[in-house]
Amino acid sequence: MTKPINYVIALAILGVLATLSVILPVYMDDLVYRVLMLSGIAVIMAVSLNLINGFTGQFSIGHAGFQAVGAYAGAALTVYGHNDLFGHLPKNGQIGTGWMSLAVGAGPMLASMLAGGLVAAVIGYIVGLPSLRLRGDYLAIVTLGFGEIIRVIVENNDSVGGPRGFSGNLDLGVSVPAITNFFWVFGVAIVVILFARNLRFSISGLQYLAVREDEVAAQAVGIDTTRTKVNAFVIGSFFAGVGGALFAHYEQTILISSFNFVRSFDFVTIVVLGGLGSVTGSIISALVLTALPEILRYSLGAQFNQYRLVSYALLLIVMMLVRPQGIFGRGELSFAKLRNKFKKPATQ
Amino acid sequence: MDQFLQILINGIQLGSVYVLIALGYTMVYGVLRLINFAHSDVFMVGSFVGFYACGWLKVSAQKTVFAGLVQLLPILFIAMAACVLLGLVIERFAYRPLRRAPRLTALITAIGVSLFIEGAAQLPFVFGVNPKFYPEILPSGPASTIQAGGITISKHQLVMVIVSAILVAVLWYIVQRTKMGKAMRAVSHDFDAAGLMGIPTDNVIAFTFSIGAALAAAGGVLFGGLTFKSLLPLMGVQMGLKAFVAAVVGGIGSIPGAMLGGLLMGISESFIKGAPHIKLGVIDFDPSRWTDAAAFLILILVLLIRPAGLLGKNTPEKV
């Protein structure tokens, strides 16, 4: 039984998100707003990858591939479904800002997130089933290869722009609409975070943790390990697809090369640095690692960008050698714990 | 028929490079149970070192294949030596401290090393992002081809396949006939027991890494120098992935498996590239554009049907 106060809190959060969504694009610096949005999407991607790599102890290194699937599926829906479903959107996709834009964009955004997530989930099932039956490291290779397959499929498919990128369809005269806003990005981020947090205390979440800790023992107590792993993989892929749909409708032009393995490794770095299995760790490291390159680029100039890959890789290696559990390990940063820490000396 | 043989020969040529890389993956997996992601970048570094060695040794166009071979051998040697060094450094500083760590930790480190090499190679003062091309080491042109019936075999292809075959034979000799090889097989069979029997496991692993790196470097030089593909810092990713798929298809940990898998991978790729363009009404299907995806479809199929690979042994997991 949910307490009525929770509904009030939820409504208040939605209200705050909607208000911010109207205010921020107008008053915030464009660059800062962009970094904020990209960090929000990175949080969604990192927490969903953490379900697979952190909670279940599997190792997927093709998360950007699922993001690509979601991005292309979601964008294809809003572009090709424009005439039949979303005729109320302007064809050039610019819905502007303000309260009206929130209402106008809500339907198509929800539909495209759902489409992107579901397609990514189905593909996650197809990819995950054979590889998750085997030892963990096969999944790494299969997911890496999966990213390549997605690239080849998109490059050979002219209806989504092929190698030129997808920004709409010229024949229909429809562009990918700019319906992603603060409300959706951070709304979804909150949903993913709450989902991950609650999962830890649910039966299926505990099964995930059991599989991570000891697969043989988990099997011995009657957990269907393959099914558990596939479950986690499908859920993670679903949210990656949702993140992809958000990304596509934010950027409005999606290039398949922006979902390459380097991007997948970015997400892996985020999750590993934050701590495999720590939701707050993923959130903080997603925010920091997305914002940091932008800040460094702003302050040090564009030539910093070429050192990004090297420095991330070095960070990853050093982290593994010195503190393999990540910054937060499996622990969570919580206000309740902090409060208790301060209280304790007083009670003793 | 001629076309069939021609495609087959091209496939064997490509396959011989895959074999050289796949052997490194499979041997390291055999002794450490670790997918050495950095292996593909060792291949890339080998190719680049060979390219620079061409400059140092002032390689020039030669008239005869023999003179070309005389030029090729020191380049191969320099690239192999450099990569052995690189392999040893990677093993010593990244993998050895994690010998007792969980496998996931080692895997993440391997990816980190791979990314580090790729990132470093792209820096302007290392290799840079502009494509590079080997000079002509062996003579090319119509004079260097052999016509047999309707088939054309270039001497490049012959040299590539023969050099690879010699290297594989040397490897087979080391693994099967020397004391070190025996130690390698023992470590691969049971890591802990081998240590208890007095086998210096650390040395054996370092040795395995250096052999793998040397083969990858040779593959890099042959690939860059004899197929005239452009050298790029990320060239190892695709090749390495396919070679790894080859190792898994053949049965990871099995040396004959890697050879079989590599050849199969090369030949199937060559056949997909050579397959005719299908155009039936609305169906417009050009198989040659799908070669990169095919390797992974093969991988998924093999994992479904025979998870241990074609020549691999399926060992039940023990508690």
Six token digits for residue A39: 């960090």
Question: Which tens digit of pLDDT belongs to each residue from A122-161?
Answer: 999 988 888 787 766 778 888 888 888 888 888 888 888 8
Q: What is the pLDDT of residue B121?
A: 93
Task: Pick from A320, A321, A323, A325 the residue to mutate for testing the B interface (most B CBs within 10 Å).
Answer: A320
Question: Which tens digit of pLDDT belongs to each residue from B208-241?
Answer: 999 999 999 999 999 988 887 789 988 888 889 8
Q: Distance between CA atoms of A211 and A219, rounded to whole angstroms?
A: 8
Question: Which tens digit of pLDDT belongs to each residue from B34-64?
Answer: 889 899 999 999 999 999 999 998 888 887 8
- Contact of A238 with chain B, judged by CB distance below 8 Å, is answered with no
- Tell if the CB–CB gap between A148 and B292 is shorter than 8 Å: yes
Q: What is the pLDDT of residue A347?
A: 47
Whether B312 maps to a domain, the answer reads no
Residues from B contacting A (CB-CB < 8 Å) are: 35, 94, 97-98, 101-105, 107-109, 111-116, 118-120, 122-124, 237-238, 241, 244-245, 248, 286, 289-290, 292-293, 295-297, 299-300, 303-304, 307, 317, 319
Q: Distance between CA atoms of A168 and A171, rounded to whole angstroms?
A: 9
Mean pLDDT of chain B: 87
Contacts of A247 (CB under 8 A, 6+ apart): A41, A67, A71, A180, A254
- Contact of A55 with chain B, judged by CB distance below 8 Å, is answered with no
Question: Which tens digit of pLDDT belongs to each residue from A301-336?
Answer: 777 777 878 888 888 888 888 888 877 777 777 777
Question: Which tens digit of pLDDT belongs to each residue from A195-230?
Answer: 998 998 899 899 999 998 888 899 999 999 989 999
Three-class SS of residue A175? strand
Choose between B61 and A98: higher pLDDT.
B61
CATH number of B52's domain: 1.10.3470
Whether B314 maps to a domain, the answer reads no
| CATH number corresponding to A4-259 | 1.10.3470
Nearest chain B alpha carbon to A325 = B105
Nearest chain A alpha carbon to B314 = A134
Count up the domains in chain B and report the number: 1
> Which value, to the nearest 10 degrees, does the dihedral of the CA atoms of residues A277, A279, A283, A289 take?
-10
Kindly report the three-state secondary structure assignment for every residue of B238-257: HHHHHHHHHHHHHCCCCHHH
Nearest chain B alpha carbon to A263 = B115
Can you give the residue range of the structural domain that contains B79? Answer: 2-305
Whether B237 maps to a domain, the answer reads yes
Whether B313 maps to a domain, the answer reads no
- Tell if the CB–CB gap between B109 and A137 is shorter than 8 Å: no
Which range, A25-29, A245-249, A333-337, B284-288, is most confident? Answer: A245-249
Whether B248 maps to a domain, the answer reads yes
Mean pLDDT of chain A: 85
Whether B311 maps to a domain, the answer reads no
Whether B315 maps to a domain, the answer reads no
Residues 262-291 of A with CB under 8 A from B: 262, 265, 268, 272, 276
ipTM of the complex: 0.82
Distance in Å, alpha carbon of B104 to nearest chain A alpha carbon: 8
- Tell if the CB–CB gap between A137 and B97 is shorter than 8 Å: no
